[in-house]
Structure 1
Amino acid sequence: MNVVIVIPARFGSSRLPGKPLADILGKPMIQHVYERACAVRTAQRVVVATDDERVAETVRSFGGAALMTDPDHSSGTDRLVEVMEKVPADLYINIQGDEPLVRPEDIEKLIAGMLVDDSVAVGTLCHTLPAGEAHNPNAVKVVLDDNGDALYFSRAPIPFPRDDDYTGVYLKHVGVYGYRNSVLEQYANLKQPMLEKAEKLEQLRLLYAGFRIR
């Protein structure tokens, strides 16, 4: 199976313009993400999808591959759909360009899980989150059903503890997705639901349309 890792990287950001080029220990953030993606042994190709020549030039300067994409895409997944038209693959792994600490071994597990179970059309990652960080809107939370499929993603603390004696755990969503090409072919035609617009979370478009995310 042909696996391609795509790193969407917008230059414009309302909170931190130029974030992909932010210096971290002497390297731009996008280079850290790219190098970690290249360490994933089961992927055949890594490409950065950007809307700005400054990002593309930076990626090429350290030997990476970059594709220019439409600046009007509303999400990284919309950008990935455009890449799919230029770079064919069976499975696309979307790593957000602001995830410099993403672990290659976690991406390997995501790919392996989707390779052994072809009923999983969309996969992602999560890990436990300290209760004290549950109210941080920049830490996206997810709740799962008994099969490990996502019930909902939110910037709010979910589940919300009505009582003070809640002893359960919170799960933080990691900005990595695995998509089969058949899902991406449909994604571009899905309308943005109110949930996605409110939370600014692109994966809610798929949940709203009835897709299963594991």
Structure 2
Amino acid sequence: MKTAILIPARYASTRYPGKPLVELTQPDGTKKSLIQMSWDCAQKVKTDCTVHVLTDDDRIADHARSFGADVIMTSSDCENGTERCAEAAPQIDADLIVNLQGDAPLTPPWFIDDLIDAMAKDADAMVATPVLRCDAQTYAHFIQDRSEGRVGGTTAVFNNRGHGLYFSKEVIPFIDPGKVPDPIPVFHHVGVYAYRPAALKQYTTWPTGTLEAREGLEQLRFLENGHTVACVEVDGRGHVFWELNNPADVDRIETALKENPQ
């Protein structure tokens, strides 16, 4: 199965303009941009894949080429990363396309391998995405963000077959603060997607859905149109996972990098 990893990146982020070019301090004290960290993650995936950065911004394109990335320029009309992947897909020879969003530098490469494996084992699955059970620290980050009025990470709920029921910027399902169970029944949605090319093509024929617009979550367009999104549970192996959604996340991510240099 020919697989391509696409890293969509845009400069005009609503909550954090210029986010792909934000530099994070590495464990050795050097600086590395968010988009380069995503590129490095893709290079560590065990599955044989081609890797491409997708952008409509010359600043991002020039920077990506400076560290050796292959860049595909896309339209500024793309509303989200899935649309950007759909636009680039006809230029790529692949049976499976993985969307590795450029705002999750703590994404372990085995999350991507697990996602690819799940798609290889289920020929009927058209779209899949990883979910990670929250540990106490991640759950606390979610609760802190919401209490302070920040829009942060995304949570997912799914049925007994692993099919997504809903994705939200709110923390779902609700848990009584005085009765938080162990393990915590909240799953952090990891911003990676695997699509068959046919699913991407279909995605662009649907208008933006009401729930997608309210939540700002591109995957809801599949659910709103009756399309199954398979949720693949992954193992963090003791690593903290968090995305860079707001400037406040920089310290969280740099702390996690120090704690887990590998």
- After TM superposition, the score normalised by the length of structure 2 is 0.78
Q: Greater shift after overlay, 153-162 or 174-183? A: 153-162
What residue in structure 1 maps to residue 241 of structure 2? none
Contact 1:91/1:179 (<8 A) preserved = yes
Give the drift of 1:12: 1.2
Structure 2 counterpart SS, 1:85: helix
Structure 2 counterpart SS, 1:158: coil
Contact 1:134/1:141 (<8 A) preserved = no
What residue in structure 2 maps to residue 76 of structure 1? 81
Give the drift of 1:159: 1.2
Amino acid at match of 2:60: V
The equivalences for 1:167-206 within 5 A come to 167=181, 169-206=185-222
Task: Structure 2: state its 5+ residue gaps.
Answer: 26-30, 146-150, 231-262
What residue in structure 2 maps to residue 4 of structure 1? 4
Q: In the aligned structure 1, how far is the partner of 2:175 from the partner of 2:32?
A: 41
Amino-acid identity (%)? 39
- Cα deviation per residue 1:44-100 (whole Å; 9 max; x = unaligned)? 200000010111111111111011111121110000011102113110000111111
Aligned residues: 214
- Cα deviation per residue 1:111-139 (whole Å; 9 max; x = unaligned)? 01110111111111111223434443312
Q: In the aligned structure 2, how far is the partner of 1:24 from the partner of 1:204?
A: 30
What's the RMSD between the two structures over aligned residues?
Answer: 1.5
Task: Structure 1: state its 5+ residue gaps.
Answer: none
Matched, 1:14 2:8: no
Amino acid at match of 2:49: Q
What residue in structure 1 maps to residue 152 of structure 2? 138
The equivalences for 1:109-148 within 5 A come to 109-129=114-134, 130=136, 131-135=139-143, 136=145, 137-148=151-162
Q: In the aligned structure 2, how far is the partner of 1:186 from the partner of 1:114?
A: 18
Q: In the aligned structure 2, how far is the partner of 1:31 from the partner of 1:163?
A: 38
Q: 2:170 aligns with which of 156, 159, 162?
A: 156
Q: In the aligned structure 1, how far is the partner of 2:115 from the partner of 2:168?
A: 21
What residue in structure 1 maps to residue 250 of structure 2? none
Distance 1:97 1:163, change over 3 A: closer
Give the drift of 1:5: 0.2
